[in-house]
Structure 1
Amino acid sequence: MNDGLNPAWLRAFVAVCDTGSFTRAAASLDLTQAAVSQQVQRLEAECGPLLIRRTRKASLTPAGVKVLAYARDMEEAHARLRLALADDDPHVGQISVASPGSIGLLLYPRLLALQAAHPGLSVSYRAAPTADIIAAVLASRAELGIVTHRPDDERLRTELFAHESLCLVVPAQMDDVSWPALVRLGYIDHPDGMDMGRRLLARVHPGQRIDQLPVRGFTNQIGAILDPVAHGIGFAVLPRFAVQAYPRRQAIRVVDTAPQVIDSLWLVTRAEWPLSASAAWALERLREHDWLAGADAPASWPAHDNG
């Protein structure tokens, strides 16, 4: 068998299989019956007998079943390629995003809502640290990346996406948030917990050190970090997006702290080519709503440029 099969031969074969006869296949392809028969014969010369020709309807041999499956796969692949190259329908195609887990708790449900409204879309989302997100964008595993540090890489286009404050979160019934009270309660740690806690607590309780706090628990599941806080077991420091997404808000309290610690979140994309129609459209839809506003820094707050 040659390395590739002539697409015209495969189209003729599929048409015969779909219509059940060479006559109807010829009519569907706007060809003569002799032309269709010749193309199928050439395909059989490459692949062996594919059809058992009967008076009323042709049937497939075992080899014919395999070639038909291959031909249909090729048709689907060609359709996907044409769609990808056209890229003019914002409601069809893949939206691939990578971000920190905190904003992902709010971002992913909104992406799924877009997909539910437009079933031609496919959403791919991954939560990852900044280094992995940048690598995913550069390797085209994610078209849109949101990172916590502004990268210095000429291959990337970077723009400010949102501001996100750090929150001191205690059990709902806790009124005393003095340093001795926090020490008695203890800290709920997570992969970024010590860094976030150090940065915020240094402003709220100057001179105190986070390593003086007893650690009451640890989890790397972003959606579960506030569960022990809701049970009164400890307190945590988390980005506001993670707090906004927590379902048991009545069981926790966000302490008003001053001064605030505000981080910048950056959108990164490949600099060499424009966004796909679906990704550009999804980005517009995400930005036109006020779901980001809960973590935006007021003009009077100095943003912490973590890049």
Structure 2
Amino acid sequence: MINTLWLRTFCTLVDVGHFTRTAERLHITQSGVSQHIRKLEEQLGTELLVRHGKQFSLSGAGVKLYDEAQGLLLALSNLESKVGEDPPFEGDVSVMSPGSVGLKLYPHLLALQCEHPKLIIDYRFGPNQDVERAIVDSKVDIGLMTSKPNLADVSCTPLAQEPLLLVTPATIKEPDWDTLMTLGFINHPDGEHHASLLLSANYPEFHHSNMFPKKGFSNQISLILEPVSMGLGFTVLPAHAVAAFAKPDHINVHRLEYSVSETLYLCVNRHRPLQMKTKTVIAEARQSLEHKPD
């Protein structure tokens, strides 16, 4: 493989036409220039310069090498430039989060992409443990989690608070304990955890969500409230998921005496430097999520 340092010296010498000025331009000695040319000729096994005292001209091989080297050195220069570039509004940025925060954040990130079309948003939904694993495996640039990560490779900072809400059919005005027991529970992947946090703080009778009759289950965040809206049971969900439901008139959202919120954490791989495009998306996430939903 041709040494690119020697090749650059050769092309500079051809452009400048003088050994001393070539040495000055490359900040090396004149003997260094001569050495690079000699090593290049030895590597290629052919004479590149025809010397005439202190002057020189190109041999046939030298002409061919110079013509081919121009494109190669330009490509290498462009590669160096591209590798060093760090544009804030261009490139792919991957994000992963649980469903509720995704329903809130994803539209904002799409609006950001509309404003900067070269910024490509890859958004995926998943539970906390999947988000954490994806960060460690460098499958996503940014992760949002509703619990602190357990793995040392994940760095996290608190980003926002998201209230948990009791949601019943629209016909329920006062969700006392007997009413909830009669309705039964619509479960979801985080349902037991959410119910434990909110209901234990507000109902002394509560010990576990298994106390309620089971009335359904859905793992699709946008569909969890469908059976609730049809009068089939109640559930506990984060506020962003409730706000995104398409039929708000069919449900009743109850803010109980003792409010309970989940902390939302912004998570990244602590060993990967943040690029400007990732910082752009993080800034949008902060702006979109820093306030509690209404």
TM over 0.5: yes
Instruction: Pick the aligned partner of 2:153 from 144, 152, 155.
Output: 155
Q: Extract unaligned runs of 5+ from structure 1.
A: 3-33, 40-74, 297-307
1:252 aligns with 2:251: yes
Separation of aligned partners in 1, 2:256 and 2:157? 28
Separation of aligned partners in 2, 1:81 and 1:133? 33
- For the Cα contact (< 8 Å) 2:94–2:121, is it kept in 1? yes
Shift of 1:87: 4.0
- For the Cα contact (< 8 Å) 1:144–1:267, is it kept in 2? yes
Q: Which amino acid aligns with 2:110?
A: L
CA shift in 2, pair 1:257/1:153, >3 Å: same
Q: Which amino acid aligns with 2:267?
A: V
Shift of 1:212: 2.2
Shift of 1:89: 1.4
Superposition TM-score, scaled by structure 2 size:
0.69
Q: More deviation in 166-175 or 150-159?
A: 150-159
Aligned to 1:86: 84
- For the Cα contact (< 8 Å) 1:87–1:277, is it kept in 2? no
Q: Extract unaligned runs of 5+ from structure 2.
A: 2-62, 69-74
Shift of 1:201: 1.4
Shift of 1:195: 2.0
Q: Which amino acid aligns with 1:223?
A: S
1:181 aligns with 2:192: no
Q: Which amino acid aligns with 2:173?
A: D
Separation of aligned partners in 2, 1:244 and 1:292? 16
Does the residue aligned with 2:164 lie in a helix, a strand or coil? strand
- For the Cα contact (< 8 Å) 2:163–2:292, is it kept in 1? no
Separation of aligned partners in 1, 2:152 and 2:249? 45
Q: Which amino acid aligns with 1:105?
A: L
Identity of aligned residues (%): 35
- Which structure has the greater CA radius of gyration? 2
Shift of 1:294: 2.7
Runs of 4+ in 1 over 4 A off after TM superposition: 78-83
- For the Cα contact (< 8 Å) 1:170–1:234, is it kept in 2? yes
Any residues of structure 2 matched to 1:1-307 within 5 Å, and which? 35=64, 83=82, 85-209=83-207, 210-289=209-288, 291-295=289-293
Separation of aligned partners in 2, 1:285 and 1:195? 29
Does the residue aligned with 1:223 lie in a helix, a strand or coil? coil
- For the Cα contact (< 8 Å) 1:204–1:259, is it kept in 2? yes
Q: How many residues align?
A: 226
- For the Cα contact (< 8 Å) 2:228–2:251, is it kept in 1? yes
Does the residue aligned with 2:292 lie in a helix, a strand or coil? helix
Superposition TM-score, scaled by structure 1 size:
0.66
Q: Which amino acid aligns with 1:235?
A: F
Aligned to 2:27: none
Separation of aligned partners in 1, 2:243 and 2:81? 41
